[in-house]
Amino acid sequence: MLRKLFREIGFRCLSLYAVMEESHIEKLIKQGYMIADEGPHRERLDTVHKVLKKLRNEGY
């Protein structure tokens, strides 16, 4: 029971991080700060999305 609770909390925190990171990247691109430096940020965001999709498919 406690393990399931921790997994749910971790999933929610990771989801929140993904949303915040995506909005932060979009904001920086709109302001012109990130043009050539966008690649690593997008790769990290894609990795987070893959992890979230895998966890969601497993039922968490």
**Domain residue extents for the chain:** 2-58
Q: What does each C-alpha distance from 55 to 6, 34, 37 come to in angstroms?
A: 13, 30, 29
3-state class of 52 per DSSP?
A: helix
pTM of the model: 0.66
Tens digit of pLDDT for each residue in 1-60?
898 889 889 888 988 888 888 888 888 888 887 776 777 777 888 888 888 888 888 876
8 Ramachandran zone, left/alpha/beta (phi>0; psi -120 to 50): alpha
3-state class of 59 per DSSP?
A: coil
Q: What is the pLDDT of residue 55?
A: 81
